[in-house]
Structure 1
Amino acid sequence: MESKLLIGGRNIMDHTNEQQKMLELKRQEIAEQKRREREMQQEMLLRDEETMELRGTYSSLQQEVEVKTKKLKKLYAKLQAVKAEIQDQHEEYIRVRQDLEEAQNEQTRELKLKYLIIENFIPPEEKNKIMNRLFLDCEEEQWKFQPLVPAGVNNNQMKKRPTSAVGYKRPISQYARVAMAMGSHPRYRAENIMFLELDVSPPAIFEMEFSHDQEQDPRVLHMERLMRLDSFLERPSTSKVRKSRSWCQSPQRPPTSTTHASVASAPLNSAPMVDHD
């Protein structure tokens, strides 16, 4: 709201920017004036020294030589200081120039890369749209985009982008929602995932009967187990399509008068359980 207030036909932001520019100009003028004052003071000191030299009288030539030797040493020290300062300034100039050259080369490479991407991946009509919207802001010295909608146009007339359905990965129609609720057809699901029920069958359990002689011989016992297993595997199925049975179904208990063994779980070398009753 503050940026939209007008004072004398200008908004606050423009007025603030103008004041900042005026303050910056005043600072520059003050700095320039101080520099000139320092130069004038140095010039006055030099003239005073020259005047003192002209007015100075020496009692002997030896005294004159000593005084001028001291002045010469001072001037030589000043000369060396000025040379060192010039050398430092020259090195600083070289370093700054190298940094600027590196920055220029880096920006040139980035610019070439951007141009290459624009020429190969952006259609010309889209590029022209973007170029037509660009303008240079002289105050901030930056390139900016013009707004798509002018300031005087009502923004409520613009259509909003469609949002995705809440709770789904992508937009879905009402018909697809009803079809998904009524059936399990994968076409109307929000995600392309097929859910299949696992066909888990219980372990095969069958009865085995052994005599006393067979129990004594482990080879006969092993052969009997293999024959039982082969006969179980070669048994023809009653139907081509078999429904999966749930593990919750309680298996039928075999009669207690016979011996039971599980081929799937019992090891081959384990002895069978025999009911001697």
Structure 2
Amino acid sequence: DPKDAKIREFQDKIKELREALAAQEKGMGIGGPHAMVDGKEGKTTTMQAAAPRIIEKIIEKTIVRREGVSEDELKKLQEDAVREKNELKKKAQVEMKALLASQSKTEEERDRLAAQLQEKAQQKEQLEKKKHEMLAQLEEYEHKVIVGGQLMDKAAKQELELRDAQQKVDEQKRQEMQLARELAEREDSNMVLEEQFSSLQEEVDVKTKKLKKLWAKHKAASTEIEDLRAEFQTEKEDMLETIRELTRQLKIKQVLLQHFVPLDDAYAIEKRSKWDPDADEWTLEHLETRPTSLRPKRPVARRGVRRAETDFARRNRQLDRGNPRWKGDNVIVLELEMPERRTKDYESGMMGFWLDRIASNEDDVEIIVLDENLQGSNDDKDSGASGPTMACDTDDKDDKEVEAWRLTSHFGR
């Protein structure tokens, strides 16, 4: 069946997408206390601050006293001073190189953390994009396959998967914020390390630069505080306005309930009301209409009566049957209106005329006569002319009465 084949194809694609999504979330996610650092997995540790920077100053003082000192001694003293100076310079250069190496290592670590943070952000963006694409494809294929009662189950499963993915994204954001805080702490520690200076001007410049940075941070924090305060004030005013509006509506509805709705009905409505947080509204539960939940019927005074009836009402109903006040049902009994009579009573003297008239117009007419006078007049008619056959059936009295009624009705028309 091509339809079954298409459904199987969609199911295979859905399975592949689920496996790819699970593998991607398992491989690309950042979890726990471990993280990828320089291509290797290890625990992220806070680097120890470098040793304080020590700069040695060499102060040379050459005192030449020509009194009582020969030129050889003076030359020797100068050579010793030059040699000590060179040794001190070499020692200072070695220490300076060590400090510079330590500082460059700290800067490299900071750059590495910044690069790692940027790489994590890019990986997160790519992961989010790919995840959305795969979820869109998954939703499309499942929409084509889901039928009947499986719709709610699959929707719940998808919602659970999306919730798990959202939790992973939140965890990744938290780790990124942690890395950003560590980077800021490193910058602050570097600022502390650079607080040893070689001259007053350098100290003034560095502290001025540091003061500008701190002032910029202070202004940014103050601006953020003002924005938050303004946002909070706006939200507070909106909430107060909403509360006032809801209070007005509540008072109006309370007035309507107090003046137009019975207390029992209002209590029943309040008992049936239920708050729906998803729809953000109140809903009324449906009443049970099963026979077991219906109210018991009103007791009756006796069988055959639809409602209870007192003895006084029963006596008055028997005495005054036309009064609807004492009726058990909403039924009005009216007198029968008789229609206007359109027939005539039987008259024996005129029967001959009517029989002659009928016989002249109709060929096949059988007339049964019940009266003797009518029988005699018809016998005379039969002896003188040919006409319809007339007979008198004296055996069946009921048939005679029926035929007489028909004849009388015909004569009346």
Fold match (TM-score > 0.5): no
TM-score, normalised with respect to structure 2: 0.31
- Greater relative contact order: 1 or 2 (C-alpha under 8 angstroms, separation 6 or more)? 2
Task: Determine which structure has the larger helix proportion and give its number.
Answer: 2
TM-score, normalised with respect to structure 1: 0.44
